[in-house]
């Protein structure tokens, strides 16, 4: 499991990059969902959102999940390409598969990489 230490993580498995304001889902989450076949991002550029708001829905071959924003802020960019290649969420969850980018963002209820790794381990049992 890959858990970059520069990112913050929500309990519900989203990551937030304080440096760039980007948001996506973790390697743990994509692995749990398995082969992702669909993503729909609900929020639009220019919208101001609160942490905890549902921003997207992903479906894999056998599971489905809502994605909640781990941070508050103004949506500066939406990764529109992702809908055409949802499989990149499996292959590059922290890179190419970012979902939205926030401007003037403040993190919601998030933890650091070490705490998140522990959180994931606990759930595996």
User: Under the rule (CB under 8 A), what is the footprint of other proteins?
Assistant: 32, 34-35, 37-38, 40, 42, 59-64, 66, 87
In the bound state with other proteins, the residue whose beta carbon lies nearer, of 50 and 112, is 50
**Separation of CA 30 from chain center:** 10
In the bound state with other proteins, the residue whose beta carbon lies nearer, of 60 and 101, is 60
Query: Rounded to whole angstroms, how far apart are CA atoms 125 and 110?
Result: 22
In the bound state with other proteins, the residue whose beta carbon lies nearer, of 63 and 114, is 63
Strand partners, 100: 23, 78
Q: How far is the CB of 91 from other proteins (least distance, A)?
A: 13
DSSP conformation class of 84: G
Residue 41 neighbours by CB distance under 10 Å = 18
In the bound state with other proteins, the residue whose beta carbon lies nearer, of 59 and 117, is 59
Q: How far is the CB of 42 from other proteins (least distance, A)?
A: 6
Residues 6+ away with beta carbon under 8 Å from 47: 74, 75
Q: How far is the CB of 53 from other proteins (least distance, A)?
A: 12
């Amino acid at each position: 499991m890959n858990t970059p230490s520069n990112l913050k993580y929500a309990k519900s498995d989203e990551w937030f990059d304080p440096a760039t304001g980007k948001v996506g889902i973790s390697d743990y989450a994509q692995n749990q969902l398995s082969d992702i076949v669909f993503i729909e991002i609900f929020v639009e550029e220019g919208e101001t959102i609160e942490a905890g708001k549902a921003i997207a829905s992903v479906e894999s071959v056998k599971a489905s999940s809502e994605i909640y924003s781990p941070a508050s802020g103004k949506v500066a960019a939406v990764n529109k390409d992702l809908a055409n290649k949802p499989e990149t969420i499996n292959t590059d969850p922290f890179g190419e598969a970012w979902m939205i980018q926030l401007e003037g963002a403040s993190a919601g209820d998030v933890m650091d990489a070490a705490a998140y790794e522990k959180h994931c381990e606990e759930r595996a049992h």
